[in-house]
């Protein structure tokens, strides 16, 4: 049974890893198109600010958490053999909270200028403010698609079906790219905003509704706010609605504090964040999303020791984010130039974004680990503790943002984001170990200590090699930069393999054998 469970998690992880990798690649293509069209300029700042108010509404109804709040309730009905009750619950949540979201969207559309001025005060009175308001109004209705699609996706996850949900981000990003390409000739960013709405409708709503129907979804009459499980759902979801999660606070603070910097700072912060999140998504998001239904099952079966082993093993695997983050720090200029330097994204924009990237990479491992740690709490239907600790960590980090803004400018905002993420996930995991009686946390800490030590040794070696290669080949063309990446990447692979063997880091040796043998390892 244990081997079968791990095999199921492995297959699901492979599906989600492929999806996340493809969606991150599509996301990078999307950012490349945005960079080509707007560079690191004021209109890109306006486009990024246009997401803040919609994200706040999304956060208020906890659309992004439906898979972790809805699945335990829904699975409980299925476990009792009460499918009618499961579909009645789904219908109730869709109508009650979907109606609430629709009302909030109408209010936001009416008072959009005043609200945008509150979330990006540094833009007040500037020429880009009307564009930010206009694009916000275009993007706002997409939140209904995200909410309904989140519920339809959760239904499929509960049925342990992952393929169709895996397509949602691909279609969403494709919609943004197509919308942006159609509007490039007009010289504005409105096409990207329309692409957000179209991509959300096609990928997050229509496709997921079809997938949920294939999984057995039935929308039944009689959904009402007095449904007995609405209260339970609210108790699970309310902390997520009022709490400040890591990703939400990161997106919000980058734009809030970035609005006080020179135009283009928000755009550059966003480009750097997307590069970091691509790696985080590949390592962390895939593992967290795929493992969650199995964590829920282990909790329901009372197998807490096995649940902790699965969670700790996943966290140890995520320690590999550290050395890969160091690699991207060393290759920061090459990475940014190869990805974005074309069209209106010039050498100056490359220098600004590359200067930010190392500060964001400091927190990459925390973003990856957080996707797993919080799901341990969610699997036990505890959303309160992550919300409390997350909110406290965010509030404590506000002085860091202010100090970083004053001392280091745009780089200080990026550094504050990373330090906030490390603080939050560190406190969460320490509390999880105490709360769940996790006896295996020592191995996780030792693993991270060894990988961190290796990463600290790797950085000066890779930095020196990168600078030497730049001097040797010039690094002024794409071919030159690819050569630098190839040589430094090869050196990194060799040093990683040697370091894993020397320090006895099983996770690096596991990765090396997986790449060399090209097969998925057995997990015992």
pLDDT tens-digit map of 247-263 = 778 888 889 998 888 88
Distance between CA atoms of residues 365 and 422, nearest Å: 8
Q: Is the pLDDT of residue 523 over 50?
A: no
pLDDT of residue 157: 79
Q: How far is CA 26 from CA 22, 173, 247, in A?
A: 6, 6, 20
pLDDT of residue 464: 95
As given in the structure block, the two tokens for residue 338 are 């190869």
pLDDT tier at 428, thresholds 50, 70, 90 = confident
Q: What integer best gives the mean pLDDT of the chain?
A: 83
Four-point Cα dihedral 188, 193, 195, 197, nearest 10 = -160
pLDDT of residue 138: 95
Average pLDDT over residues 341-360: 92
Q: Is the pLDDT of residue 351 over 80?
A: yes
As given in the structure block, the two tokens for residue 225 are 């706010």
Who wins on pLDDT, 511 or 316? 316
Say if CB 61 and CB 193 are below 8 A apart. no
Q: Is the pLDDT of residue 524 over 60?
A: no
Distance between CA atoms of residues 52 and 436, nearest Å: 35
Closest CA to 37 of 354, 335, 342, 258: 342
Q: Is the pLDDT of residue 356 over 60?
A: yes
pLDDT digits (tens, 9 = 90+) for 44-62: 999 999 999 998 888 777 6
pLDDT of residue 512: 63
Report field, pTM of the whole predicted structure over 0.75: yes
Average pLDDT over residues 327-335: 95
pLDDT of residue 474: 79
Q: Which residues contact 91 (CB under 8 A, 6 or more apart)?
A: 219, 220, 221, 222, 223
Q: Is the pLDDT of residue 286 over 70?
A: no
Average pLDDT over residues 416-436: 88
pLDDT digits (tens, 9 = 90+) for 138-150: 999 999 999 999 8
Classify 61 in phi/psi space as left (phi over 0), alpha (psi -120 to 50) or beta. alpha
pLDDT digits (tens, 9 = 90+) for 357-386: 999 999 999 988 888 888 788 777 777 778
Say if CB 294 and CB 422 are below 8 A apart. no
pLDDT tier at 470, thresholds 50, 70, 90 = very high
Average pLDDT over residues 127-131: 88
pLDDT of residue 404: 92
pLDDT tier at 288, thresholds 50, 70, 90 = low
Other Cβ atoms less than 10 A from the Cβ of 349: the count is 23
Percentage, residues of the chain above pLDDT 70: 85
Q: Is the pLDDT of residue 519 over 50?
A: no
pLDDT tier at 481, thresholds 50, 70, 90 = very high
Say if CB 314 and CB 287 are below 8 A apart. yes
- 3 state DSSP class of 187: coil
pLDDT tier at 111, thresholds 50, 70, 90 = very high
Average pLDDT over residues 265-288: 80
Q: Is the pLDDT of residue 314 over 90?
A: no
Who wins on pLDDT, 246 or 355? 355
pLDDT of residue 514: 56
Distance between CA atoms of residues 233 and 231, nearest Å: 5
Q: Is the pLDDT of residue 7 over 70?
A: no
Closest CA to 443 of 309, 324, 320: 309
Average pLDDT over residues 456-479: 91
Distance between CA atoms of residues 331 and 463, nearest Å: 8
Which helix (DSSP H) or strand (DSSP E) does residue 444 occupy?
helix 441-473
Say if CB 128 and CB 45 are below 8 A apart. yes
Of the candidate ranges 20-34, 118-132, 412-426, the one whose mean pLDDT is the lowest: 20-34
pLDDT of residue 187: 55
- 3 state DSSP class of 344: coil
pLDDT of residue 240: 65
Average pLDDT over residues 339-366: 92
């Amino acid at each position: 049974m244990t081997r079968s469970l791990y095999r199921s998690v492995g297959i699901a992880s492979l599906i989600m890893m492929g999806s996340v990798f493809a969606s991150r690649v599509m996301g990078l293509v999307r950012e490349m198109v945005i960079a080509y069209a707007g560079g690191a300029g004021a209109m890109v700042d306006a486009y990024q600010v246009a997401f803040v108010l919609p994200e706040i509404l999304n956060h208020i109804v906890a659309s992004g958490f439906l898979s972790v709040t809805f699945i335990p309730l829904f699975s409980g009905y299925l476990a009792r053999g009460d499918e009618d009750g499961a579909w009645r619950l789904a219908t109730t949540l869709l109508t009650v909270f979907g109606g609430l979201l629709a009302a909030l969207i109408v209010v936001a559309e009416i008072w959009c200028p005043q609200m945008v001025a509150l979330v990006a005060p540094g833009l007040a009175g500037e020429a880009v403010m009307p564009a930010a308001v206009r694009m916000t109004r275009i993007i706002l209705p997409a939140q209904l698609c995200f909410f309904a699609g989140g519920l339809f996706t959760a239904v499929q996850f509960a049925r342990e079906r992952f393929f169709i949900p895996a397509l949602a981000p691909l279609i969403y990003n494709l919609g943004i790219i197509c919308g942006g390409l159609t509007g490039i000739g007009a010289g504005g960013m409105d096409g990207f905003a329309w692409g957000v709405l179209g991509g959300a409708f096609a990928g997050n709503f229509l496709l997921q509704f079809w997938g949920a129907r294939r999984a057995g979804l039935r929308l039944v009459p009689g959904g009402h706010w007095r449904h007995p499980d609405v209260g339970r759902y609210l108790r699970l979801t309310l902390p997520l609605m009022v709490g400040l999660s890591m990703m939400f606070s990161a997106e919000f603070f980058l734009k809030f504090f970035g609005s006080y910097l020179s135009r283009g700072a928000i755009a550059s912060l966003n480009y750097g964040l997307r590069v970091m999140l691509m790696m985080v998504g590949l390592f962390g998001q895939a593992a967290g999303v795929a493992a969650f239904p199995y964590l829920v099952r282990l909790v329901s079966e009372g197998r807490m020791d096995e649940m902790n082993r699965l969670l700790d093993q996943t966290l140890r695997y995520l320690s590999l984010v550290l050395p890969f983050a160091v690699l991207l720090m060393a290759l920061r200029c090459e990475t940014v130039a190869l990805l974005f330097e074309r069209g209106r994204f010039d050498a100056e924009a490359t220098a600004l974004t590359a200067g930010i990237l190392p500060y964001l990479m400091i927190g990459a491992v925390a973003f990856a680990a957080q996707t797993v740690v919080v799901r341990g709490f969610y699997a036990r239907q505890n959303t309160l503790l992550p919300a409390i600790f997350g909110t406290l960590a965010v509030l404590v980090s506000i002085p860091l943002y202010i100090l970083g803004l004053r001392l280091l400018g745009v780089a200080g905002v990026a550094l504050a984001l990373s330090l906030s993420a490390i603080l939050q996930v560190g406190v969460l995991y320490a509390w999880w170990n105490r709360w769940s009686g996790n006896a295996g946390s020592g191995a996780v800490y030792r693993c991270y200590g060894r990988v961190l030590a290796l990463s600290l040794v790797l950085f000066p070696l890779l930095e020196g090699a990168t600078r030497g290669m730049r001097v040797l080949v010039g690094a002024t063309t794409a071919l030159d930069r690819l050569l630098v990446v190839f040589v430094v990447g090869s050196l990194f692979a060799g040093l990683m393999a040697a370091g894993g063997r020397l320090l006895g880091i099983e996770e690096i040796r596991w990765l090396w054998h997986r790449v060399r043998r090209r097969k998925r390892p057995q997990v015992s």
